[in-house]
């Protein structure tokens, strides 16, 4: 069993509206899985199905080799995008209550909370009411409550919203640490740079359908554009540019260098060896820059959504 | 995993610890009792003022019946003209002047009697005076006609019909009144309870929605569990509040009576007077005894069991609907359109209870409405003291429980979908669609 979670051919309808159409995703154990998609694509519906908040109309969900059932509630920690806490309840009381709902005993919940509160340096909030805290502070408490029962599967929907860069970093480190300790993480966000930074695998959902999934590197390989960013020095740059343009499809590149070089994006045909290009270029001038252009998650996202 | 006790506990504690709840619990009886005490005190104050009424009886036939009492002083004027008397009374700021003109022949007629005053006199005073004159003149007429007044009095017969059912249960008018009070109180209590605590449940659901904690919670518990937990927790808080009100009300009532020297229990409202007239019996002792026997004549065991069952089922029926409304909307102002269909059957039930059950507890209207589930808890509770066959109660209860299970299912559907819906003001059509999700 290498996959912690397997969603098999899940469909969900709301009246006539199809929220998910035959979607399957597999989430490897111990990975950080990016669940991406434009607004209204069906991500939240999928997450709610995994959390058993909504039931799928068709298909099945398997968690750690077992069909998803009520007892798995304590194996999952969920930080929804629409989140909040009871405003007039004290922080400590509330955290204990939420932990108890996840099956922890009161004493155990208290012990673990003390640990986490100390760790995040929020110990003196224990007796405050939520309405006295700022949004970021409340978010921290929500994060603690989500991970407190040490679930196998953590689901974070836009976990960094509302955090300043310092606290966002702190939470990011905590997520990475939780993964090291064996948790599997589903991570849904519109911030592509954090996907780039954190995720091992991704799936892209668009208009109720999964249009893309796999290891991030594989996806990138799939979206490879065979284009190289090149800087080359020559006595006659105009002449050289003309010459290269006749041989390859070329566009202007934009990057910073020390000298005034000819900067180009050069596309080669798939299957062609980049060395051939490099050899050709070295004959023409002094190559100061030669980098393969790797599509960013952002590019992949936009391209995939537009193509489908 | 059963989280129900945990949810109930949280709902209960949050309600009970809430500041406005605490203030309401302790302040309401205080305000209520103060209110009654002030009214009682003021009434007494008003009564303490002696009304001075001057009587000018030119006929000389009835002047001797006006004897001063604690609250009214009669002042007999003699040998004065009407105008002088009027001037005198006006000057001395007396309450009024009763003038009976001279009668040349025959009895005094209405046109002979006039009451002059600054402001219009109180109705009770006028009827008291009329009564006095009538009694005296009737007596004089009888003597005049040669009727033996003593024999006439002695020949009067008073009849009080014994009431007995075919099964041999004895009842009386007092019984009916006691039944009325019991049934009415039970029905009305349920009505109040539903409105107050139903609203509280609704608000607490809306609060969970607006604070956006709902999704966190229902990733741990089933929405139905959360809904039931809310209903039960809030109801327990409500019962606690009611019990405190009753105890506190009793204590304060006693204290207030001592302090103000006003016997609040003796304060009579017009309704109470009517009730008392209905059960007017010659001796006070037997009156109390009658009430006690009437109380024990009530089908007590049946009453208590039925009260508990109908109260719980009726309350749950309505409160689940309140919870569903709370789930369907985003804020309290949007609840209006859904409140009317809930309140209508409830108000209808109370009116039917008051107007039909009292008149004819086993008539078609009362019987039918005691089977319709949305009115049955209130109407049946009002009917039961008058003796309802057990089969009727059981059938009504079964219908009620069936409907209750349906509404909980229905409410849970709405609740499950509604709590995750934001920004939409739902229509009825929308709600029907949610059921199919």
CA A12 to CA A67: how far, in whole Å? Answer: 18
Buried b (16+ CB within 10 A) or exposed e, B24-47: ebeeebeeebeebbeebeeeeeee
Average pLDDT over residues B325-351: 84
Average pLDDT over residues B113-126: 85
Residue A95's pLDDT band (cuts 50, 70, 90): very high
User: Which pLDDT does position B437 carry in this prediction?
Assistant: 61
Is residue B272 over pLDDT 90?
no
Is residue A107 over pLDDT 90?
yes
Quick check: B391 contacting A, CB < 8 Å? Answer: no
pLDDT digits (tens, 9 = 90+) for B200-253: 889 888 888 888 888 888 888 888 888 889 989 998 998 899 888 888 888 887
Residue A146 domain-assigned? yes
CB atoms within 10 A of CB B345: 17
The partner residue sitting opposite A87, judged by closest CB among B211, B221, B436, is B211
User: Which pLDDT does position B296 carry in this prediction?
Assistant: 66
Find chain B residues with C-beta within 8 A of A89's C-beta: 14
Q: Report yes or no: B62 and B108 within 8 Å, Cβ to Cβ.
A: yes
Asked whether residue A21 falls in the same domain as residue A110, the answer is yes
Asked whether residue A233 falls in the same domain as residue A216, the answer is no
Stretch 170-209 of chain B: residues touching chain A, C-beta under 8 Å: 207-208
CA A187 to CA A77: how far, in whole Å? Answer: 12
Is residue B407 over pLDDT 80?
yes
User: Which pLDDT does position B282 carry in this prediction?
Assistant: 46
Residue A299 domain-assigned? no
What is the nearest CA distance from A148 to chain B, expressed in angstroms? Answer: 13
Residue A180 domain-assigned? yes
Quick check: B1 contacting A, CB < 8 Å? Answer: yes
Residue A127 domain-assigned? yes
Stretch 28-57 of chain A: residues touching chain B, C-beta under 8 Å: 48, 51-53
Asked whether residue A77 falls in the same domain as residue A18, the answer is yes
Q: Report yes or no: A250 and A264 within 8 Å, Cβ to Cβ.
A: yes
Stretch 163-192 of chain A: residues touching chain B, C-beta under 8 Å: none
Is residue B174 over pLDDT 80?
no
Asked whether residue A107 falls in the same domain as residue A122, the answer is yes
Asked whether residue A190 falls in the same domain as residue A175, the answer is yes
Among chain B residues, the shortest Cα distance to A55 is held by B437
As given in the structure block, the two tokens for residue A229 are: 């960013």
Find chain A residues with C-beta within 8 A of B3's C-beta: 100-101
Is residue B349 over pLDDT 50?
yes
Domain boundary among A221, A250, A266: A221
CA B121 to CA B135: how far, in whole Å? Answer: 21
Buried b (16+ CB within 10 A) or exposed e, B369-379: bbebbbbbbbb
Asked whether residue A208 falls in the same domain as residue A275, the answer is no
User: Which pLDDT does position B88 carry in this prediction?
Assistant: 85
Find chain B residues with C-beta within 8 A of A19's C-beta: none
What is the nearest CA distance from B433 to chain A, expressed in angstroms? Answer: 7
Residue A297 domain-assigned? no
User: Which pLDDT does position B280 carry in this prediction?
Assistant: 47
- In terms of Cα–Cα distance, which of A297, A46, A57, A10 is closest to A155? A46
**A233: CATH:** 3.30.70
The partner residue sitting opposite A53, judged by closest CB among B207, B213, B219, is B219
Residues A53, B212: C-beta atoms closer than 8 Å: no
pLDDT digits (tens, 9 = 90+) for A212-257: 888 998 998 888 888 899 888 888 888 888 888 888 888 888 888 7
Residue A303 domain-assigned? no
CA B241 to CA B280: how far, in whole Å? Answer: 37
User: Which pLDDT does position B298 carry in this prediction?
Assistant: 66
Structural domain containing residue A267: 226-292
What is the nearest CA distance from A162 to chain B, expressed in angstroms? Answer: 15
Quick check: A16 contacting B, CB < 8 Å? Answer: no
What is the overall mean pLDDT for chain A? 89
Residue A13 domain-assigned? yes
Residues A73, B3: C-beta atoms closer than 8 Å: no
Residue B13's pLDDT band (cuts 50, 70, 90): very high
**A44: CATH:** 3.40.50.300
Asked whether residue A153 falls in the same domain as residue A17, the answer is yes
Average pLDDT over residues A137-155: 92
User: Which pLDDT does position B359 carry in this prediction?
Assistant: 76
Is residue B268 over pLDDT 70?
no
| ipTM > 0.85 (yes/no) | no
Asked whether residue A139 falls in the same domain as residue A287, the answer is no
Domain boundary among A202, A221, A240: A221
Asked whether residue A130 falls in the same domain as residue A217, the answer is yes
- Residue B2, Cα to own-chain centre: how many angstroms? 42
The partner residue sitting opposite A103, judged by closest CB among B1, B219, B420, is B1
CA A145 to CA A151: how far, in whole Å? Answer: 11
What is the nearest CA distance from A72 to chain B, expressed in angstroms? Answer: 10
> Structurally, how many domains does chain A consist of?
2
Find chain B residues with C-beta within 8 A of A103's C-beta: 1
Domains of chain B: 49-146 (3.40.190.10), 173-247+266-436 (no CATH)
CA B165 to CA A237: how far, in whole Å? Answer: 120
Residue A306 domain-assigned? no
Asked whether residue A20 falls in the same domain as residue A37, the answer is yes
Quick check: B90 contacting A, CB < 8 Å? Answer: no
Which of A57, A81, A84, A153 has the highest number of chain B CBs within 10 A, making it the mutation to test binding with B?
A84
Domain boundary among A189, A221, A253: A221
Asked whether residue A236 falls in the same domain as residue A201, the answer is no
Which of B213, B222, B413, B419 has the highest number of chain A CBs within 10 A, making it the mutation to test binding with A?
B213
Asked whether residue A270 falls in the same domain as residue A142, the answer is no
Among chain B residues, the shortest Cα distance to A53 is held by B219
Which of A39, A51, A77, A101 has the highest number of chain B CBs within 10 A, making it the mutation to test binding with B?
A101
**Over pLDDT 70: what percentage of chain B?**
86
């Amino acid at each position: 069993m290498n996959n912690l979670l397997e969603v098999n051919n899940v469909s969900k309808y709301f009246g006539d509206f199809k929220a998910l159409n035959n979607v399957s995703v597999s989430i490897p154990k111990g990975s950080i899985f990016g669940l991406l998609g434009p607004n209204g694509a069906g991500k939240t519906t999928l997450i709610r199905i995994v959390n058993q908040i909504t039931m799928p109309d068709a298909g099945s969900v398997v968690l750690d080799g077992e069909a998803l059932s009520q007892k798995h509630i304590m194996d999952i920690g969920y930080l929804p995008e629409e989140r909040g806490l009871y405003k007039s309840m004290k922080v400590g009381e509330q955290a204990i209550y939420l932990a108890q709902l996840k099956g922890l005993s009161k004493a155990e919940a208290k012990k673990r909370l003390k640990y986490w509160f100390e760790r995040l340096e929020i110990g003196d909030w224990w007796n405050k009411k939520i309405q006295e805290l700022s949004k970021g502070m409340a978010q921290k408490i929500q994060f603690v409550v989500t991970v407190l029962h040490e679930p196998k599967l953590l689901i974070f929907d836009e976990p960094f919203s509302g955090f300043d860069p310092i606290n966002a970093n702190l939470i990011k480190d905590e997520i990475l640490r939780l993964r090291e300790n064996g948790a599997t993480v589903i991570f849904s966000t519109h911030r592509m740079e954090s996907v780039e930074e954190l995720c091992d695998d991704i799936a892209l959902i668009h208009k109720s359908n999964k249009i893309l999934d796999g290891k991030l590197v594989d996806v990138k390989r799939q979206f490879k554009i065979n284009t190289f960013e090149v800087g080359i020095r020559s006595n006659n740059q105009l002449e050289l540019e003309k010459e290269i343009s006749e041989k390859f499809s070329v566009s202007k590149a934009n990057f910073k260098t020390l000298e005034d070089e000819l900067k180009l994006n050069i596309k080669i045909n798939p299957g062609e060896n980049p060395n051939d290009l490099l050899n050709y270029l070295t004959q023409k001038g002094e190559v100061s820059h030669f980098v393969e252009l790797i599509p960013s998650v952002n590019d992949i996202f936009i391209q995939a959504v537009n193509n489908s | 995993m059963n989280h129900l006790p945990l949810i109930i506990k949280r709902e209960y504690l949050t309600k009970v610890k809430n500041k406005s709840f605490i203030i309401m619990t302790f302040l309401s009886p205080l305000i209520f009792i103060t209110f009654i005490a002030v009214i009682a005190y003021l009434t007494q104050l008003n009564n303490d003022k002696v009304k001075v009424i001057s009587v000018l009886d030119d006929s000389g036939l009835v002047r001797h019946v006006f004897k001063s009492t604690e609250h009214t002083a009669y002042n007999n004027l003699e040998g004065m003209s009407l105008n002088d008397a009027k001037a005198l009374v006006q000057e001395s700021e007396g309450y009024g002047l009763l003038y009976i003109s001279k009668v040349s022949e025959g009895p005094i007629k209405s046109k002979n009697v006039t009451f002059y005053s600054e402001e219009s006199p109180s109705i009770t005073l006028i009827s008291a005076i009329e009564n006095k004159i009538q009694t005296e003149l009737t007596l004089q007429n009888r003597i005049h006609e040669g009727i033996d007044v003593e024999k006439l009095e002695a020949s009067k017969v008073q009849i009080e019909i014994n009431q007995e059912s075919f099964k041999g249960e004895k009842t009386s008018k007092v019984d009916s009144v006691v039944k009325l009070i019991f049934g009415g109180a039970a029905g009305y209590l349920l009505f109040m309870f539903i409105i107050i605590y139903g609203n509280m449940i609704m608000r607490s659901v809306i609060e969970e929605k607006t604070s956006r904690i709902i999704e966190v919670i229902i990733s741990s518990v089933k929405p139905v569990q959360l809904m039931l937990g809310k209903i039960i927790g809030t109801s327990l808080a409500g019962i606690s509040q009611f019990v405190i009100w009753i105890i506190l009300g009793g204590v304060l009532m006693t204290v207030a009576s001592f302090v103000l020297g006003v016997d609040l229990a003796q304060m009579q409202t017009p309704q109470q007077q009517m009730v008392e007239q209905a059960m007017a019996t010659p001796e006070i002792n037997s009156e109390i005894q009658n009430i006690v026997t009437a109380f024990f004549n009530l089908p007590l065991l049946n009453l208590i069991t039925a009260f508990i069952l109908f109260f719980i089922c009726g309350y749950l029926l309505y409160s689940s609907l309140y919870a569903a409304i709370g789930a369907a909307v985003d804020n309290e102002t949007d609840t209006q359109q859904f409140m009317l269909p809930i309140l209508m059957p409830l108000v209808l039930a109370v009116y039917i209870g008051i107007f039909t059950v009292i008149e004819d507890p086993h008539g078609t209207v009362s019987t039918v409405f005691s089977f319709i589930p949305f009115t049955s808890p209130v109407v049946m509770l009002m009917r039961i003291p008058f003796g309802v066959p057990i089969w009727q109660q059981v059938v009504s209860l079964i219908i009620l429980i069936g409907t209750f299970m349906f509404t909980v299912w229905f409410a849970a559907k709405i609740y499950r979908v509604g709590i995750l819906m934001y920004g939409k003001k739902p229509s009825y059509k929308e709600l029907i669609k949610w059921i199919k999700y």
